[in-house]
Amino acid sequence: MQDQVQKQDYIDGDWIYDIETYPNCFTISLIRADGKVSRVFEISDRKNDIDAILCCFRWLRDNNCRMVGFNNLGFDYPIIHEIMKVASKEKEKNYSTCTPKFIWGLAQKQIASFKGEGFGHSIPDKDIIIKQVDLYKIWHFDNKARSTSLKMLEFNMKSDNIEDLPFPVGMKLSHADMDILCIYNNHDVKMTLDFYKYSLDALNLRAELSVKYNKDFTNHNDTKIGKDYFIMRLEESMKGSCYTYDAHGKRSINQTKRDIIHVKDFLFDYYDFKQPAFKAILEWFRNSSITETKGVFTDVEEHELGDVAQYSELQIKRKKFKSKPDENDLQQFKTEHPMGWVEEEELKATEYLFDANGEHIYFQPEDEEGSPDFTKKPKKARINKKSYWGCYKVADSLNVVIDGFRFDFGTGGIHGSVESKIIKARGDWIIRDYDVASMYPNIAISNRVFPKHLGEKFCDIYQDVYETRKSYKKGTPENAVMKLALNGVYGDSNNQFSPFYDPQYTMAITINGQLSLCLLAERLMEIEKLKLIQVNTDGVTAIFKQQDEDQAKQILSDWEKVTKLELETAQYKQMIIRDVNNYIAVYLNDKVKRKGAYQYEDLGWHQNQSALVVQRAAEAAMLHGTDPEEFIKNWKNKYDFLLRTKVPRNSRLVMQMQDGSEIQQQNICRYYPCKEGGKLVKIMPALEEGGEDRRLSLDKEWNVKTCNNILDFKDDIDYDYYIREAEKLIIEA
């Protein structure tokens, strides 16, 4: 029998690296991707490895190797690049400029260039001397919403040891400190190597795509791969459609910018609603004009809703007047809030009462029988103070309620769900989930919606990409890139730095998508006894009788013909729903779908993966009737009990012990609740100069122990913490 070949867990020629810079010490650590060769180089007042460093760089360059790092394109490589540039100019000087102080200055200059979400100073791809692979960019951690540090990854990778920077930035190190720094530097590289192995599929995909399309995708995040592929296809078919170049070769992005968007200009003509609420929503959209696409469907006042208001859930907002409003105050308030009103509120506090001339009003004290007591002096009259509030109604998001089910509309899609319920398909009831296949791409393809500057040919290319994707098996790099291309276009149509930019295209897709799902929901609600469970972005979930399956199928078929969209269906045994974003669904084959607060598998690297035993226990309780306390006390994976916290470098984290003493902790800290231990306290700078530091207790009800080294984890867990957290997630049947 032929021996099974074990899949190689690295790419030949890859070297993982990281640098550390201090005013009197520079270190660089490298590990070959197979983990069998490692080196740590140092430049300091006790050691100068500059010749060995440069020799290493030349070898990496000449052997076509890649240097793999974490945020290395933003920080590490620009410093290395400058070192190589300086060294190439002064070989005869024995590289005298490459001192720790000089390299420290390079690092500070690079840090100073950081603006918002990235470093201002970077090395153009064409100038890079040694190929770079940046895991930070590949996983899109350079996006503010996904920003993740290597230390957070160490927590999510369940690393045995999480080590934070051992010395304050800018500290002058002793020789003993330098030894510690080298160990720390090497630790970080080993952790980057671990993450590199988790990233192999992503790295291999980018390598295959780079060869296939003769374009370097190495450091592209998924979204950028999709966008760049689609741009390639557009430019192949319509040269100059995405970018134009002037006589000097300077590139300009082609876009469609709009001062105002009239919704009626892009509404589809197949909406034939019967429900008065949906008719009102359609009319509201038809009469709407949009000047700003962010927040356009939130905080809509009652007078702006028109007929929609009678079908909406509204909240009352209040605005306090400084004093009793006069006519001018009232007129201004009514101008801002035409359907608003004023409420008077009596307070416990009192004030003197004055007459029309501003004189005190007096009253005569009474005797025990209630008659005026003229033996006593008159007293100044006092009355309860009053406050005055301007009130008005507002829809926190554009919404309508039909038969107790609320539909919320927004730029991210439509949402609606029953809440805090367990729904089971008992007897002849069935739960069906209907999702639109590639909804946003297919709305554009089927209805010929396109960014104006790209023309209708855009839809043909979009359809070709969609059909091409279906010809490749799932899991192949070709299928992956097509999927990324299909999904990336919609989001980028509202990106002011993208050649897909046309906000009317964005609104046309999202608004028509929501109205199309309303049409599906309305027709399904015609089925007797059918109840909607969820409406969510690209689909509808409902429960109904088995005998009504044929009617449901006919409704779906008719809807598909009208909208030219395709539905994919799934069937659930049960759903446990906290709200639209947090639920558990169990398929007929017992496979479990988890969302939001109930998810403990397939979490993103940027997500907080603290105390996952909580979600596991809650699920076991609701699906299998397992007692949460029993489950938690018998769970063996210690990493699922660990939590983490992070404080910025301008703050401190201390452990406040029971005797009042405080012990400094790492700024990135792993811990667990226990019976003993102390309280974790975050100490932040004062808001005003000279003020006192601000102190914030973390999990203040509980004693905790830090556990950055897993060997510090002891069998002294306070199970009550986890039991209480699990109970918060459990929904009673």
What single DSSP character describes residue 602? S
pLDDT higher than 60, residue 3: no
- What's the mean pLDDT in 450-472? 92
Rounded distance between C-alpha atoms, residue 449 and residue 435, angstroms? 21
pLDDT recorded at residue 114: 78
Share of the chain above pLDDT 70, in %: 98
**Whole-number Å distance between alpha carbons of 95 and 92:** 7
- The DSSP output letter for 373 is -
Give me the residues paired with residue 9 across strands: none
> Tell me, what DSSP letter sits at residue 198?
H
Q: What pLDDT does 94 receive?
A: 62
> Residues 250-276: what's their mean pLDDT?
95
SS3 call for 657: coil
Average pLDDT of the segment spanning 297-315: 95
Q: How far is the C-alpha of 162 from the C-alpha of 150, rounded, in Å?
A: 10
> Rounded distance, CA 636 to CA 630, Å?
12
Confidence bin at 706 (pLDDT 50/70/90): very high
Amino acid 284: pLDDT: 97
* Least confident among 9-18, 60-69, 375-384: 375-384
* pLDDT tens readout for residues 28-50: 999 999 999 999 999 999 999 99
Q: Among the residues of 471-595, which ranges form H helices? A: 477-492, 503-524, 549-563
684-687 long-range contacts (CB < 8 A, ≥24 apart) are: 684/647, 684/650, 684/651, 685/650, 685/651
pLDDT tens readout for residues 656-705: 998 889 999 998 999 999 988 899 999 999 888 888 899 998 888 899 99
Using CA atoms, how far apart are residues 95 and 73, in angstroms rounded to an integer? 24
| pLDDT tops 80 at residue 272 | yes
More confident position, 352 or 583 = 583
Q: Is the pLDDT of residue 293 over 90?
A: no
Condensed to tens digits (0 to 9), the pLDDT of residues 167-181 reads 988 999 999 999 999
State how far the Cα of 306 lies from the Cα of 276, in Å rounded to an integer.
13
The whole-number pLDDT of residue 117 equals 63
In DSSP notation, 240-275 reads TSSEEE-TT--EEE-----S-EEGGGT--S-----S
Going from the N-terminus, what domains does the chain have, and what CATH number goes with each? Answer: 14-213 (3.30.420.10), 317-396 (no CATH), 613-729 (no CATH)
Residue 269 has pLDDT above 50, yes or no: yes
**421 in the Ramachandran plot: left (φ > 0), alpha (ψ -120 to 50) or beta?**
beta
Residue 621 tokens, joined: 């309780």
Quick one: pLDDT at residue 707?
94
Structure tokens at 176: 């003993």
Q: Which of 33, 223, 231 is nearest to 141 (CA)?
A: 223
Q: Is residue 247 scored above 60 in pLDDT?
A: yes
CA angle 683, 684, 689 (to 5 degrees): 130
Predicted confidence (pLDDT) per residue in 610-632, tens digit: 999 999 999 999 999 999 999 99
pLDDT for position 89: 75
Q: What is the mean pLDDT of residues 382-407?
A: 93
Strand partners of residue 17: 30
pLDDT at 88 over 90: no
The token pair that represents 395 in the structure block? 């829809």
Across 600-616, average pLDDT: 95
Encode pLDDT of 152-170 as tens digits: 999 999 999 999 888 988 9
Q: Are 253 and 499 in contact (CB under 8 A)?
A: yes
The closest of 67, 63, 54, 10 to 33, measured between CA atoms, is 10
Q: pLDDT tens, 516-547? A: 999 999 999 999 999 999 999 899 999 999 99
At residue 589, does pLDDT exceed 90? yes
Q: What tokens appear for 153 in the block?
A: 């990854």
Q: Indicate whether 93 pLDDT > 70.
A: no
Among the listed ranges 246-255, 475-484, 600-609, which one has the minimum average pLDDT value?
475-484
The per-residue pLDDT for 429 is 97
339 phi, psi to nearest 5 deg: -105, 15
Least confident of 67-76, 342-351, 473-482: 473-482
Cα(105)–Cα(165) distance, rounded to whole angstroms? Answer: 19
1 — pLDDT class (breaks 50, 70, 90): very low
Angstrom CA distances, 534 to 90, 462, 516, 544, 614, stand at 69, 29, 15, 13, 25
* Separation between Cα atoms, residue 120 and residue 339, nearest integer Å: 50
Note the pLDDT of residue 408.
96
Task: Report the pLDDT value the prediction gives residue 703, as an integer from 0 to 100.
Answer: 93
Kindly report the average pLDDT of the chain as a whole number. 92
Cβ neighbourhood burial of 30 (10 Å; 0-12, 13-18, 19+): buried
For 1-50, give the secondary structure using H, E and C: CCCCCCCCCCCCCEEEEEEEEECCEEEEEEEECCCCCEEEEEEECCCECH
Cα 306 from Cα 295, distance rounded (Å): 19
Q: How far apart are CA 296 and CA 261, in angstroms?
A: 12
Q: What is the pLDDT of residue 456?
A: 94
- Cα angle 211, 215, 219 (rounded to 5 degrees) comes to 95
CA angle 670, 672, 677 (to 5 degrees): 105
Residue 689: predicted pLDDT:
82
DSSP 497: T
Residue 681, Cβ density class (10 Å: 0-12 exposed, 13-18 middle, ≥19 buried) = middle
The band of 2, judged by pLDDT with boundaries at 50, 70 and 90, is very low
For residues 143 and 118, give the distance between their C-alpha atoms in angstroms, rounded to a whole number.
9
Alpha helices by DSSP H, 295-438? 302-305, 327-336
Tokens in use for 423? Answer: 């729904």
